[in-house]
Structure 1
């Protein structure tokens, strides 16, 4: 194995670690999800896919959020709570609300704040207000 291969492997490992956090915790999360009843597991898989695109971008927040999802669905499965009662009629809003619970949030939250700021600044200029 060349130094370049080792460096590339380390880079990939660091990049994955930033996205999914601690590998041990990620494996534990995946093992927990695997133990869920099939319908709950399918729902978590959908949530996970969405979070991979729109969830927190730092590893610690992402891992904590995935663990929270596992906790929620484990409790619901144990109690026999229907999936729709967990996520409601709008699964996107459900997951977006989970994301908002994490301070750093994902890039979607940052972009939403930027959009609001840009509109506020533009609207202030229209009304002759100075900021």
Structure 2
């Protein structure tokens, strides 16, 4: 019962556990994979904008899988991210359908314009 109340305030405890596991996996990566994975993580947190926790956890788990596999295979980081790492990160994020914070702002803008236009009449 208390867990449901806490989750109502803080979000899913399971998602938080999965996120901590993801962070530990990224921290354990050898260099240069760890550095690039952390930089990609930061970029996704700022630019990705995904607000659905389940989608975010899935995306980050897949990101950890990608970097772990690249490290295990010895794949050069540029072979993964290409010449434009930000484009790589944005393309990676687009593969995960979910609400992004910008969706809320688009809705808010559209409503404000609709409301103002109705008052014009």
Q: Does 1:63 align with 2:37?
A: no
Question: In the alignment, what sits opposite 1:29?
Answer: 22
Shift of 1:92: 0.9
Question: In the alignment, what sits opposite 2:77?
Answer: 83
Shift of 1:105: 5.2
Output the TM-score relative to the length of structure 1: 0.66
Q: Secondary structure, in 3 states, of the residue corresponding to 1:52?
A: helix
Q: Does 1:38 align with 2:31?
A: yes
Q: Secondary structure, in 3 states, of the residue corresponding to 2:32?
A: helix
Q: Which 4+ residue blocks in structure 1 deviate beyond 6 angstroms? A: none
Gaps of 5+ in 1: 1-6, 115-131
Aligned length: 101
Q: Distance in 1 between matches of 2:28 and 2:81?
A: 20
User: Is this contact kept in 2: 1:99–1:106, CA < 8 A?
Assistant: no
Gaps of 5+ in 2: 107-121
Question: In the alignment, what sits opposite 2:68?
Answer: 74
Q: Which of the numbers 43, 51, 70 marks the counterpart of 1:50? A: 43
